[in-house]
Structure 1
């Protein structure tokens, strides 16, 4: 059925006259009459009774009018939604983020996308570094990992987010609160670190070799939340980028930035999805969140410093 004919039929019924309806539709009365005859032929039934007083619906015409109005209203809503989709990003976007970003990036990102991009549906994965790289290579739209120029991710290009300091954290007392420490001062500390295939672990191994420090790794744990819980219980210390941590003292842990030790963060976007308006919109908000977090000054880094071996 031609929806334009159906709309004209409704206008004729509302006007009660082919002449008045033709004026409102900006067409001639004979042309509108031909359109109504065409609709009747399509439906193989008489819809209108014409007289000198105007037109009235037959029983079939009244039933068609009863269904036509909500049908045209629905079509109008669908068209409006499609027009809105042209103007606003829409669709599913998959994002993978470090588990340590849960409070500081992931939750704010979800809230921001729901508020600003109501037609976008997020699919979120939280994992450790190795799993994140595998997920991006397997087809996740956007992922944030520590950037290593020597470890490209096939099919995805990096967007640099900025540099981040590495921080030792654990129960208070090992060093003055907020003090900056040297890498050599990790010597002898019981460390809880991710397993060897994690980029942070590889970074620490290179730093340890450069400084001639043998790290005392008492546990390997590939869950960020468990590492934090173990550190809070006093089972050991750990090292992580500053962006991944809550403000010092907020979770019962103290933080000590490690002088001269840092990492770079990057957001990787799938090459095949880069032009998607929804992916671009989520990427923009994610990168803005990460860069703002990286630019924020440490919440309570004191001026105290601890003399450290070279």
Structure 2
């Protein structure tokens, strides 16, 4: 148990996750850190998500424990778990974090009913298809506001949301987090893709249990497509024959063109690739493997009007047509 600190007056500070305050000896930054640790169950992973060093993170938790006069976390063989006191405080921490988010939102909009900027994160492939429509609709609806688009991997966008670097994001199959809320936007089947010169030609419908027969070029973990394929094959007790791990789609295509190799991608990605005229595909069945494009926002507080309006624009898109 750390040394207790004396209660202090409210004092604003800037940190990696935005402005924080000290209230009755508890720093909102420390509370946020505690929430992320409970979410990740691992100090090093939480430190990575929060953008701080692990010693600094541990020190802040010690200070919080000193203030509360209870041990909140216990080390295990696999990481950390909240103690009984930690679980009790976790409910208070969630409520405090939500109230703080609401307070920030209220003060940002005080005497300024229109937020002038919103930050949207998207994977690269989604941005190519949806960004023009989103930008045009946003300009029509909010001519005096600005939309900032950030592109990256879904895993990156998920962490940016947690850190407050973006206000909302489109993600593929994000890991569930109590810090975020999710809404499914569009689902798409994955297919087995290969060059048209491939011999013998696979059947038009390939059973998932037969995927182990094909030499595959797949992205490396933690890519979301790789995670979906690995999960489906584990459920069927199928051992995949992954002959190469390549993270760039165009490089996967070039690798496949050298000899009879295969990959697994969303159907719409067939049309994103240079050299698509040389590609063929087979549907994957029994079961189908489907990705899930998800709209994600922070779970705490009420979204700012401009953020909610941007979410409404995304919900109103004909995404199936955009991905056809």
Question: Does the TM-score normalized on the shorter chain lie above 0.5?
Answer: yes
Task: Show the counterpart of 2:151.
Answer: 126
Task: Show the counterpart of 2:139.
Answer: 114
* Aligned with 1:278 (options 270, 285, 306): 306
Against the structure 1 CA distance between its residues 171 and 208, is the aligned structure 2 distance closer, same or farther, given a 3 Å change threshold? same
Shift of 1:90: 4.9
Q: Distance in 2 between matches of 1:220 and 1:183?
A: 20
Against the structure 1 CA distance between its residues 284 and 170, is the aligned structure 2 distance closer, same or farther, given a 3 Å change threshold? farther
Against the structure 1 CA distance between its residues 119 and 237, is the aligned structure 2 distance closer, same or farther, given a 3 Å change threshold? farther
Larger of the two Rg values belongs to structure: 1
Q: Distance in 1 between matches of 2:305 and 2:136?
A: 19
Task: Show the counterpart of 1:135.
Answer: 160
Is the aligned partner of 1:257 residue 2:283? yes
- 1:126-275 alignment to 2 at 5 Å? 126-139=151-164, 140-147=166-173, 151-174=175-198, 179-228=204-253, 230-231=255-256, 236-246=261-271, 251-252=276-277, 253-259=279-285, 260-271=288-299, 274-275=302-303
Task: Give the 3-state SS of the residue equivalent to 1:213 in structure 2.
Answer: coil
| 5+ long unaligned stretches in structure 1 | 1-84, 300-310
Task: Give the 3-state SS of the residue equivalent to 2:243 in structure 1.
Answer: strand
| 5+ long unaligned stretches in structure 2 | 1-111
Task: Show the counterpart of 1:16.
Answer: none
Question: Contact 2:233–2:240 (CA<8 Å) still a contact in 1?
Answer: yes
Question: Contact 2:191–2:284 (CA<8 Å) still a contact in 1?
Answer: yes
Q: Distance in 2 between matches of 1:254 and 1:202?
A: 23
Q: Structure 1-normalised TM-score? A: 0.55
Task: Give the 3-state SS of the residue equivalent to 1:169 in structure 2.
Answer: strand
Against the structure 1 CA distance between its residues 249 and 227, is the aligned structure 2 distance closer, same or farther, given a 3 Å change threshold? closer
Task: Give the 3-state SS of the residue equivalent to 2:217 in structure 1.
Answer: strand
Task: Give the 3-state SS of the residue equivalent to 2:316 in structure 1.
Answer: helix
* Aligned with 2:316 (options 282, 285, 288): 288
Task: Give the 3-state SS of the residue equivalent to 1:112 in structure 2.
Answer: helix
Q: Distance in 2 between matches of 1:249 and 1:185?
A: 28
- 1:19-34 alignment to 2 at 5 Å? none
Task: Give the 3-state SS of the residue equivalent to 1:284 in structure 2.
Answer: helix
Q: Distance in 1 between matches of 2:179 and 2:145?
A: 23
Against the structure 1 CA distance between its residues 206 and 141, is the aligned structure 2 distance closer, same or farther, given a 3 Å change threshold? same
Task: Give the 3-state SS of the residue equivalent to 1:109 in structure 2.
Answer: helix
Against the structure 1 CA distance between its residues 274 and 189, is the aligned structure 2 distance closer, same or farther, given a 3 Å change threshold? farther
- Greater CA drift, 185-194 or 169-178: 169-178
Q: Distance in 1 between matches of 2:117 and 2:307?
A: 8
Task: Give the 3-state SS of the residue equivalent to 1:200 in structure 2.
Answer: helix
Q: Distance in 1 between matches of 2:121 and 2:137?
A: 16
Task: Show the counterpart of 1:31.
Answer: none
Question: Contact 2:161–2:169 (CA<8 Å) still a contact in 1?
Answer: yes
Task: Give the 3-state SS of the residue equivalent to 2:205 in structure 1.
Answer: coil
Q: Structure 2-normalised TM-score? A: 0.53
Question: Contact 1:146–1:199 (CA<8 Å) still a contact in 2?
Answer: yes
Question: Contact 1:100–1:245 (CA<8 Å) still a contact in 2?
Answer: no
Q: Distance in 1 between matches of 2:270 and 2:131?
A: 13
Shift of 1:268: 0.2
Task: Show the counterpart of 2:128.
Answer: 103
Question: Contact 1:146–1:265 (CA<8 Å) still a contact in 2?
Answer: yes
Q: Distance in 1 between matches of 2:201 and 2:322?
A: 19
CA offsets, 1:62-100, max 9 Å, x none? xxxxxxxxxxxxxxxxxxxxxxx85xx652211111222
Question: Contact 1:243–1:293 (CA<8 Å) still a contact in 2?
Answer: no
